[in-house]
Structure 1
Amino acid sequence: MNANELSEKSPDQLREELASLKKEAFNLRFQQATGQLENTARMRQVRRNAARVKTVLNQKAQAAAE
């Protein structure tokens, strides 16, 4: 997922994507705490994707405010 793909989505779609990423991050943290996490790199990917979604949402909100 890159910023160009995200910028094509609507704000509602971005919020849904952010919610699903947050759920996945929660599940990954839970797996790590119980010792079941196999792909530790996925945690970093999810965090960074969530940050990308937030960035695009803020850019769209700023553009709408202008």
Structure 2
Amino acid sequence: MYAKEIRKMTDEQILDAIEDQKEALFNLRFQEASGQLEDVNALKRTRRDIARLKTILRERQLAAQRVSEEGKK
């Protein structure tokens, strides 16, 4: 998942995507523990996707906070 794609998403869609990725990460970890995981890079990609989603969501929160603080001045 690219940052450009994530930036086009709404906050609700990002939160849903985070939950989906967390579930996928859980399943990948389970497969790894049982020795059934074929694509070991999937764990790394999924962790990075979660981080990317959370980063963009936090950027939006900080931007909204800055706007509200500027409005109070």
Question: Does the alignment pair 1:59 with 2:59?
Answer: yes
Alpha-carbon offset, residue 64 of structure 1: 1.0
* Structure 1 gaps, min length 5: none
- Runs ≥4 residues deviating over 4 A: none
Of structures 1 and 2, the one with the larger relative CO (CA 8 A, separation 6+) is 1
Question: What is the letter of the counterpart of residue 58 of structure 1?
Answer: R
Question: What is the letter of the counterpart of residue 28 of structure 1?
Answer: L
Aligned residues with identical type, % of pairs: 38
Which residue in 1 is equivalent to 2:14? Answer: 14
Task: Tell me which structure has the larger Cα radius of gyration.
Answer: 2
Q: Deviations over 1:4-41 (max 9, x none)?
A: 11111111000000000000000000000011111101
After superposition, residues 1-66 of structure 1 pair within 5 angstroms as 1-66=1-66
Give distance in 2, aligned partners of 1:42 and 1:30. Answer: 13
Give distance in 1, aligned partners of 2:15 and 2:3. Answer: 15
Give distance in 2, aligned partners of 1:2 and 1:39. Answer: 20
Give distance in 2, aligned partners of 1:22 and 1:30. Answer: 12
Give distance in 1, aligned partners of 2:42 and 2:56. Answer: 21
Aligned residues: 66
Using the size of structure 1 for normalisation, the TM-score is: 0.96
